[in-house]
Amino acid sequence: MIESDVLVIGGGPAGSIAAIKLRKAGYSVELIEKVKFPRFVIGESLLPRCNELLEEVGVLESVEKAGFQFKGGVAFENEKDDLKVVHFENNMGQKHNSSFQVRRETFDKLLLDEAEALGTNLSIESEVIAYNPTTNMVTVKDKDEKIEEYSAKKVIDASGYGRVLPRLLDLDSDSKLALRNAIFCRVENDIRPSDGTDGYIYVYIVGDNDAWIWNIPLSPTVTSVGIVCSDEYYQSFNMNQEQFWNHIVENNPSSKERYKNASKINEVGFIGGYSSNVKTMFGENYVLVGNATEFLDPVFSSGVTLALESGSKAADLTIRELQGEIVNWQEEYEDYMMIGVNVFREYVEAWYDGRLQDILFSKVPTADKIERKVVSVLSGYVWDKKNMFVHSPKEAVDATHKILTTEDYK
Amino acid sequence: MITSEEFKKVLIEYLNLEDITPDDIEDKDALFGDDGLGLDSVDSIELVLAIEKEYGVKITDATLYETIFASVENLLTYINENRA
């Protein structure tokens, strides 16, 4: 039996940042990762809030030195010539006003290496096959099929799409968001914007909000291009994933122009059923972080931000618990995380029902006044209580939409 | 009982009124329009939501808007009278 203070399941950003924090506080950490790194995963665009969290654990400098694509903002463009460019520097005064576009195989490896360098014990290509929540014993099968028992004071599940504890403990619940598919590919030699926004993520809205395309520049020549749409819309084309990707990219005016000389550098990938949820984010001896909890739609690039925030928060609370304090996980963890999740979820819902586009593309002069608040949300500062979109997400989106679209107020 | 001073601080904070201190705001100042704080329709959303969040007071009756929002003083009186 292998004993440790904490056992982390999963070596993505949520697991790594938790391990880094715990090691820095002097606690022993075992980390179980199912696959060999580096490995491919989508979710390549970070938000400024990530920089703050990375800085807090002392790894921002290594990330900056790794040469990732600088990201100064996000742009939204529809087929009716509406364009909204959001510059992160127009936030509500928060410190970090830029972030990075990252190949996750490189970024995730860098964070995991940092965790290992700080003394985290890694078991790579090992899989958690059973968990006893009462004894807090975790059964792990390694790549040679050898079974090992682990005992820890706390288990942090950062297994992402693997959803290890949600599966083993039957914690999955239906997502309130509609299921969507992502169809994606990396290309080279696209034509970038020449107005200084070449590092920005561009979101092209397809048709009448039927789908949207992410355009994430990963290096001076390589761009990640993904389409997100409902399964119904995808199925209506009766095409395989590559035909579908080609068709959408060739028919949206913005992507058609951007990729006219570009060529694919890998196969078109597909992930179905984007978005899921859990009944609870914690138990007496365990806590779920990152995508192991709820994963939202990727339209606002919130994935890595929520992963780092939750991993970091869970580690802070675990440290306090290991020091003998009593932690109220409901209030201090789940309720806290839900503040940010609810802001993004409200934006996601307003995106798909079209209200957010009305707000973003509004030509009403007073729209400037809400700019900083919107920018702050799109930068991942979704715990800043002075922002109305944070303290009252639904009411703020409704009221803003009403005021920017009602003739009387213009 | 919320004091005028406290309330002005909340106004400044939530509405991001730059370069203004509580001393710069008179109790009789109008909230909207050019001769008062100069708030506009977008600020009014912010204000209504902030009051609900900060003090638990909902301002839902639109017929009262004109009186309540006539001045800083009126708004504060309404909040103090309707706090739980």
pLDDT, chain A, mean? 94
Q: Is A296 helix (H, G, I), strand (E, B) or coil?
A: coil
pLDDT in tens, A205-261: 999 999 999 999 999 999 999 999 999 999 999 999 999 999 999 999 999 999 999
Do residues A35 and A119 share a domain? yes
Minimum CA–CA partner of A401 in chain B: B42
Which of these three, A228, A255, A274, is where a domain ends? A274
User: Where do the structural domains in chain B lie, given as residue ranges?
Assistant: 4-82
Interface test with A, best of B9, B32, B46 (most A CBs within 10 A): B46
Shared domain for A207 and A268, answered yes or no, is: yes
A27, A176 Cβ separation under 8 angstroms: no
A366 with B41: Cβ contact below 8 A = yes
Q: Can you give the pLDDT at residue A370? A: 86
Work out how many domains chain A is built from and give that number: 2
Q: Is the pLDDT of residue A161 over 80?
A: yes
Asked if B13's CB is within 8 angstroms of A392's CB, the reply is no
Whether the per-residue pLDDT at A196 is higher than 90: the answer is yes
pLDDT single digits (tens) A330-381 = 999 999 999 999 999 999 999 999 999 999 999 887 777 788 999 999 999 9
CATH number of the domain bearing residue A16: 3.50.50.60
Quote the strand ranges of A190-294, DSSP E: 201-206, 211-217, 222-230, 263-264, 269-274, 277-278, 286-288
Three-state DSSP at A385 gives coil
CA pair distance A21, A13, nearest whole angstrom: 12
Q: What is the pLDDT of residue A275?
A: 64
> Is A361 a domain residue?
no
How many contacts does A have with B, using Cβ atoms within 8 A? 36
Q: Which residue has the higher pLDDT, B84 or A117?
A: A117
Question: Are A127 and A225 in the same domain?
Answer: no
Q: Following DSSP, what letter does each residue of A163-202 receive, concatenated?
A: -HHHHHTT-EE--SSPPEEEEEEEEES----SSS-TTSEE
Over residues B52-71, the mean pLDDT reads 86
DSSP string, B20-80: --GGG--TT--SBSTTTT-B-HHHHHHHHHHHHHHH------GGGHHHHTT-HHHHHHHHH
Give the pLDDT confidence of A36-60 residue by residue, as tens digits. Answer: 999 999 999 999 999 999 999 999 9
Tell me which H or E stretch contains A309. Answer: helix A303-322
List the structure tokens of A89.
Answer: 């520097």
Note whether B59 and B48 are within 8 A (CB): yes
Same domain? For A193 and A167 the reply is no
Range of the domain at A308: 2-69+101-174+276-340
Query: pLDDT class for B16, splitting at 50, 70, 90?
Result: confident
Fold assignment, B4-82: 1.10.1200
**What are the tens digits of pLDDT across the range A75-101?**
999 999 999 999 999 998 899 999 999
Q: Which of A32-36, A251-255, A385-389 has the lowest mean pLDDT?
A: A385-389
A283 and A254 part of one domain:
no
Q: Are residues A41 and A141 in the same domain?
A: yes
Q: Are residues A20 and A55 in the same domain?
A: yes
- pLDDT value at residue A410: 42
CB contact under 8 A, A92 and B16: yes
A11 in the same domain as A134: yes
Among B13, B42, B49, beta carbon nearest to A395: B49
A189 plus A148 within the same structural domain = no
A111 lies in the same domain as A194: no
Residue A393 belongs to some domain of the structure: no
Does A329 lie in the same domain as A199?
no
Confidence of residue A274 (pLDDT cuts 50, 70, 90): low
- Evaluate whether residue A386 is within a structural domain: no
ipTM score for this prediction: 0.77
State the sign of the Cα–Cα–Cα–Cα dihedral A112, A26, A47, B54.
positive
Do A116 and A6 lie in one domain? The reply is: yes
A206 in any annotated domain? yes
CA closest to A408 among chain B residues: B41
Boundary-marking domain end, from A296, A316, A340: A340
Within an 8 Å CB–CB cutoff, is residue A369 touching chain B?
yes
CATH number, domain of A192, equals 3.30.9.100
- Provide the pLDDT for residue A403: 84
Assess if residue A88 is contained within a domain. Answer: no
The partner residue sitting opposite B42, judged by closest CB among A366, A391, A392, is: A366
The whole-angstrom separation of Cα A347 and Cα A299 is 9
Q: Nearest by CB to B43, from A369, A392, A395: name it.
A: A369
pLDDT, position A407:
57
Interchain pair A403, B53: CB under 8 A? no
Residue A46 is encoded by which pair of tokens?
A: 């970070």
Q: Which of A340, A367, A392 is the last residue of a domain?
A: A340
